[in-house]
């Protein structure tokens, strides 16, 4: 079972195409069931698309770091 915290940690890796098939599937399943994580996923995806002009791969390290920071803050606010 994937916790919300773990799911959110994996979202940017997922969007980067960095996850193996099993984890990808686990995350996708979680996203269909969990509205909170799905909302985070959506926001992250849109942010990345904005940064990369639709290119979902090869995020610059700086963007990666900033996204992780933002997600971590979101988690802290919630818990």
Shortest distance (Å) from residue 68 CB to Zn ion: 17
Rounded distance between C-alpha atoms, residue 32 and residue 44, angstroms: 16
User: Measuring CA to CA, how many Å separate 25 from each of 28, 30, 50?
Assistant: 5, 9, 25
C-alpha 38: how far from chain center: 9
Nearer to Zn ion, 31 or 48 (CB): 31
Nearer to Zn ion, 4 or 70 (CB): 4
Point out which residues bind Zn ion (CB under 5 A): 4, 7, 34, 37
Nearer to Zn ion, 6 or 66 (CB): 6
């Amino acid at each position: 079972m994937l916790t919300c915290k773990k799911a959110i940690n994996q979202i940017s890796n997922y969007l980067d195409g960095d996850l193996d098939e099993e984890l990808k599937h686990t995350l996708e399943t979680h996203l269909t069931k969990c509205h909170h994580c799905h909302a985070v996923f959506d926001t992250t995806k849109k942010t990345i698309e904005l940064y990369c002009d639709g290119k979902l791969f090869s995020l610059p390290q700086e963007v990666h770091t900033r996204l992780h920071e933002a997600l971590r803050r979101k988690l802290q606010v919630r818990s």
